[in-house]
Amino acid sequence: MTDQHVNQTIYPRNVIGVRSPATIQPRFSGVLLDWRGTLVVAPTYTWLITRALRDLGRPHDSGAVDEVRQRLAAVDTTEVESSAVDVDAGLHRQAYSAWFRAAGLDLELSDALYAAESDVAANPFAEDVGALLAEMHDAGVRIGVLSDIHVDLRPAFTAQRVQTASGEQSWVDLVDVWVLSFEVGAAKPDPVIFQEALALLALPACEVLMVGDRATHDGAAVDLGMTTLLVPPLTSPSERRLHRVLDLVLPGHDLEI
């Protein structure tokens, strides 16, 4: 994965369809979107370690990176791999600090690794995210971002812009509600986070579509009565699969970038 920091990118839309969003009756009044793996490519640990070592001015060749990876893999990762650490920013930091200490990493490298893992700009968006947000917004569909995360995602959306029916807009202005685990104190698959999302959207479960990439976590929305679309985890910004969302929300309308 390459180091990508996208700022103020304009995402034009070229939409081909029989009907425009304004003439299509949406099948869902609201859509909840997972973040990592669904809207953005999650950074690999190889990438994170490489960046941390490079930022510190240390050797970051494959041998140096593999050494750190092996040390991290040699200790228990149960706590950091659980979504439970995402319910509180302080708890998340403590869990990762304990992991790094157990792996024998020095404090400077630990801090650099954590900073890289917490940098939302290091997660490149899929190329079709802006067009999807604009189409749903123009159709009057309420949009929510629901994520197990320990940092604020709003700045990453603020940095992106797209053409809408009202003109050029920042992505952050197209999102109606933010349901971030560290802010609401609950994480997937806990039903509490989905209930909070429904309350913020002010919509019943039957009118909301949940979109994610993990059956174990995002799929839990089904238990509350939400139709759920699971897509394969995003591995490259060029992968386009968010048109599947429009297939359900705005049937008969195609999304093309």
Per residue in 64-102, pLDDT (tens digit) is: 999 999 999 999 999 999 999 999 999 999 999 999 999
Q: What band does 257 get if pLDDT is binned at 50, 70 and 90?
A: low
C-alpha–C-alpha distance, residues 58 and 94, integer Å:
25
Residue 107: pLDDT over 60: yes
Instruction: Work out the pLDDT band at 25, boundaries 50, 70, 90.
Output: confident
9-42+123-249 falls under which CATH superfamily? HAD superfamily/HAD-like (3.40.50.1000)
- Name the more confident of 159 and 256: 159
If one compares 255 and 45, the residue with the highest pLDDT of the two is 45
Q: What is the pTM of this model?
A: 0.88
Confidence of residue 229 (pLDDT cuts 50, 70, 90): very high
pLDDT at 156: 96
What is the rounded CA–CA span in Å between residue 205 and residue 232? 23
Mean pLDDT in residue range 139-155: 97
Q: Where are the beta strands (DSSP E) in 80-231?
A: 142-147, 160-164, 167-170, 177-180, 208-212, 227-230
Mean pLDDT computed over 47-57 = 97
pLDDT band at residue 253 under the 50/70/90 scheme: confident
Provide the 3-class DSSP secondary structure of residue 97.
helix
DSSP category for residue 44: P
Band of the pLDDT at 170, cuts 50, 70, 90?
Answer: very high
Domain limits of the chain?
Answer: 9-42+123-249, 45-121
> Quick one: 128 exposed, middle or buried, by C-beta within 10 A (0-12, 13-18, 19+)?
buried
pLDDT of residue 18: 35
pLDDT at 23 (0 to 100): 62
